[in-house]
Amino acid sequence: MRVIAGKCKGRPLKAVPGMTTRPTTDKIKESLFNMIGPFFEGGNGLDLFGGSGGLGIEALSRGLDKVIFVDYDRKAVGVIKDNIKTCGFEEKSEVYCNDANRALKALIKRGLQFTHIFLDPPYKHKDLPKLIEVIDIGGLLTEDGVIIAEHEGDLELPSNIGRLRLVRRERYGSTTAISLFKYE
């Protein structure tokens, strides 16, 4: 695992030990960032199921100003912090060990908004539409922002969730798909 492009291109990233985390492959990561960027002139990101932090760190490397990382697994949070330090992004990052639903409530209370929200939950997590609905209702996404959801290839997300519309869906083999949601 490595950073693919930007300021930290080629920098190796640690993976979370064990089988609880499924890192995004370099091929899918490259495709994902080509869909939404590939580079950014500022903005704030949320990496809600951070894992090793690969998506949020890639976004920082490609120009986002700040990313908040959240993961429920303490080992994952430790790996995210190590990877952030490796890339020198400590000043551009916040890392929290929390459940996704609680984290969203806390971020809503803080009145934060994000231009890029990365959702890459464990594939057994079946509440992706509900999380997207909470993001919409809570005003966490900027009007010109995008939600990037990585999920099982055979999962068909609704074309509309609240005010958000599915604008693109790409499938990678039988196991993985990326769905992008934006405001109409």
The CATH number assigned to the domain holding 81 equals: 3.40.50.150
Q: Is residue 8 part of a domain?
A: no
The owner of tokens 């609880």 is 20
pLDDT at 38: 94
pLDDT at 140: 98
Q: Tell me the C-alpha to C-alpha distance, in Å, between residue 4 and each of 34, 75, 99.
A: 11, 24, 28
Q: Is residue 5 part of a domain?
A: no
- Residues of the chain short of pLDDT 50, as ranges, are none
Q: Is residue 4 part of a domain?
A: no
**Are 46 and 134 in contact, with CB atoms under 8 Å apart?**
no
DSSP conformation letters of 80-103: HHHHHHHHT-GGGEEEEE--HHHH
Phi and psi torsions of 54, nearest 5°:
-55, -45
Work out the angle between the directed axes of helices 100-109 and 128-137 (0-180°, nearest 10).
10
Question: Could you list the residue range(s) of the whole structural domain that residue 54 is in?
Answer: 26-183
pTM, entire model:
0.96
pLDDT at 154: 87
- Could you give the number of structural domains in the chain? 1
Q: Is residue 178 part of a domain?
A: yes
Q: Tokens for 52?
A: 């090793």
**Residue type at 61 in one-letter notation:** S
Rounded CA-CA distance 102/166 in Å is 25
Q: Is residue 17 part of a domain?
A: no
**Short-list 20, 12, 22, 104, CA closest to 61:** 12
Q: Tell me the C-alpha to C-alpha distance, in Å, between residue 86 and each of 40, 53, 105.
A: 21, 12, 30
Q: Is residue 21 part of a domain?
A: no
Q: Is residue 1 part of a domain?
A: no
pLDDT at 26: 85
pLDDT at 50: 95
> β-strand 66-71 against 141-152: which pairing, if any?
unpaired
Q: Is residue 59 part of a domain?
A: yes
pLDDT at 175: 86
